[in-house]
Amino acid sequence: MDQQKNQSRRDFIKKAVLSSAAVSMGGVLPGFSARSYKSIWGANERFAIGVMGVNSRGLALASNFAKQPNAAVRYISDVDTRAADKCISRVEAIQQLKPVAKPDFRRALEARDLDIMVVATPDHWHAPAALLAMQAGKHVYLEKPCSHNPHEGELLVAAQKKYKKVLQMGNQRRSWPNVAQAIKEIHDGIIGRPYYAKTWYANSRKPIGTGKVVAVPNWLNYDLWQGPAPRMPYKDNLLHYNWHWFWHWGTGEALNNGTHMVDLARWGLQVDYPVKVQSSGGRLVFTDDWQTPDTQMITLEFANKTMITWEGRSANGRESEGSSVGVVFYGEKGSLQIDAGNSYHVYGLDNKLIKEVKGDATVKATDLSNPAETLDAFHFQNMFDAIKGGAALHSDIEGGFKSTLLVQLGNIAQRTTGLLHTDSKNGHILSDPGAMKLWSRTYEKGWEPKV
């Protein structure tokens, strides 16, 4: 379980603050900005970065990696030529080095000077791309969720062990100093034994309408965009963001945003796999092509008398507990709340505030692409430290898979009977062959992911 890594995390906060100072100062040469220092080839040891999928979140990631004094973005891969051109221009302006366009990311993986592939594609590409990258000898920064379905997550765990590459999932809050401190306080007993974690996400999204089958735009390689997914006709309401709400490519709000907070809940409660999973809700608001729930409540129960809930509201952004996103841990002696940012509050059983820790960085939870750039740099630097010196990853694939699986099980319950009983040793669904069919998916012939 994750508590085995607690000792390595005890020194994390101090190290994170020091590394943050180094990043913000732009290197070790006095008077040099991060940009000017980076332009001196060989001035420091830099990781060569490739970014796959740069329309939204990938654009933010590419820009942020380019700002790191010990990294240089060398390759940009996207099936949308417009997105690629925009990203290349922005990255060049940041680092004064122009990345090379590699529309097919497999060509970027052939480059000997590529160290890390950043995967920020639609969900159906996450695991297959990460597998190909590790097989090509590259380290991987993988946006959440780590996989489209549980079987792919299992493949990633097996592949990481086989190829011995560093694979960091983009659960970046694990690297935010005050969030890490909050979890440590829970483990140290500030609220007594924690038994329940409530998580949520709320946003006032708009309907996506009914799409029409149209010709594929000339700026899009739709065949490569589909990649491992069985072929479907192109519709005018699919790209770029709406794929999240189609089961064929996306995983809904539960994995789009729920993964972050459920991961913190699992970390705080120190649990792995549940014994019972329930989900209720559905398409209660939108009457369009949107397939995944626009309103959903997932409940996860564990063998050690703990539980996690996740509430997702895509059509009504009314805040809960004063925040659009967050997690509250309830313990026998009090409660602790982590909001959208790098801050937390501790309350006693009498509901009085015991402790408040605030963060300086601004976080916009409803920003779809770049809600917390400064804080995310901690996660990048942790990965660099793991590659260079064997530091413990804050979100390795074993933990990332477990957290992703929790919300995947919620979606499987939602799509089947509403209630699943699961094996506490591996999370597999018990005595429900129909639900277990959703453990994996069908693939386009020739695109099946393999270890």
Give the residue from 6, 2, 49, 46 showing the smallest Cα distance to 27.
Answer: 46
Average pLDDT, the chain: 91
- Whether 44 and 72 have beta carbons less than 8 Å apart is answered as no
Please provide the DSSP assignment of 105-165 as one string.
Answer: HHHHHT-TT--EEEE-S-HHHHHHHHHHHHHTT-EEEEPSSS-SSHHHHHHHHHHHHHH--
Average the pLDDT over 311-327 and give the result.
Answer: 97
Residue 30 has pLDDT above 60, yes or no: no
Q: How far is CA 14 from CA 146, 173, 175, 275, 378, in A?
A: 28, 16, 12, 37, 12
Average the pLDDT over 82-104 and give the result.
Answer: 98
The single residue listed with the structure tokens 């099980």 is 409
Share of the chain above pLDDT 70, in %: 88
pLDDT tens-place string over residues 226-246: 999 999 999 999 999 999 999
Cα torsion at 394, 261, 317, 277 (round to 10°)? 150
The single residue listed with the structure tokens 């991060």 is 34
**Helices (H), ranges, 250-335:** 252-256, 258-269
What is the predicted pLDDT for the residue at 44? Answer: 54
Average the pLDDT over 363-371 and give the result.
Answer: 55
Please provide the DSSP assignment of 402-441 as one string.
Answer: HHHHHHHHHHHHHHTTSEEEB-TTT-PBPS-HHHHGGGS-
In the three-class reduction of DSSP (H, G, I as helix; E, B as strand; rest coil), residue 334 is classed as strand
Position 24 confidence tier, pLDDT thresholds 50, 70, 90: very low
**Helices (H), ranges, 193-245:** 222-226
Q: Return the exposure string of 196-208: e unless at least 16 CB atoms fall within 10 Å of the residue's CB, then b.
A: bbbbbbbbebeeb
Q: How far is CA 245 from CA 207, 241, 282, 385, 392, in A?
A: 11, 9, 12, 36, 34
**Helices (H), ranges, 244-396:** 252-256, 258-269, 373-389
What is the predicted pLDDT for the residue at 46? Answer: 94
Q: How far apart are CA 371 and CA 49, in angstroms?
A: 21
What is the predicted pLDDT for the residue at 366? Answer: 54
pTM (2 decimals)? 0.89
Position 22 confidence tier, pLDDT thresholds 50, 70, 90: very low
Please provide the DSSP assignment of 383-398 as one string.
Answer: HHHHHHH-PPPSSBHH
Beta strands 47-52 and 116-119 are: parallel
Q: How far apart are CA 48 and CA 26, in angstroms?
A: 17
What is the predicted pLDDT for the residue at 365? Answer: 57
Token code pair at residue 26? 């732009």
Residue 5 has pLDDT above 60, yes or no: no
Q: Which of 309-318, 370-379, 421-430 has the lowest mean pLDDT?
A: 370-379
Average the pLDDT over 156-172 and give the result.
Answer: 98
Position 45 confidence tier, pLDDT thresholds 50, 70, 90: confident
Position 372 confidence tier, pLDDT thresholds 50, 70, 90: confident
pLDDT tens-place string over residues 167-183: 999 999 999 999 999 99
Considering Cα of 282, then 288, then 291, then 294, what sign does the dihedral take? Answer: negative
Higher pLDDT, 354 or 23: 354
Q: In this structure, which long-range contacts are made by residues 88-94, counting pairs with CB atoms below 8 Å and at least 24 apart in sequence?
A: 90/59, 90/62, 90/63, 91/62, 91/63, 91/66, 94/35, 94/63, 94/66, 94/67
Q: Helices 397-415 and 150-163 meet at what angle, rounded to 10?
A: 170
Token code pair at residue 302? 């564990």
Beta strands 344-348 and 334-338 are: antiparallel
Q: How far apart are CA 96 and CA 385, in angstroms?
A: 25
Structural domains in the chain, CATH included, are: 2-174 (3.40.50.720), 177-367+398-439 (3.30.360.10)
Q: How far apart are CA 234 and CA 50, in angstroms?
A: 27
> One-letter amino acid identity for 230?
P
Q: How far apart are CA 77 and CA 64, in angstroms?
A: 16
What is the predicted pLDDT for the residue at 364? Answer: 60
The DSSP symbol for 79 reads S
Higher pLDDT, 365 or 233: 233
Position 373 confidence tier, pLDDT thresholds 50, 70, 90: confident
Q: How far apart are CA 207 and CA 312, in angstroms?
A: 16
- φ/ψ of 180, rounded to 5, equals -60, -40
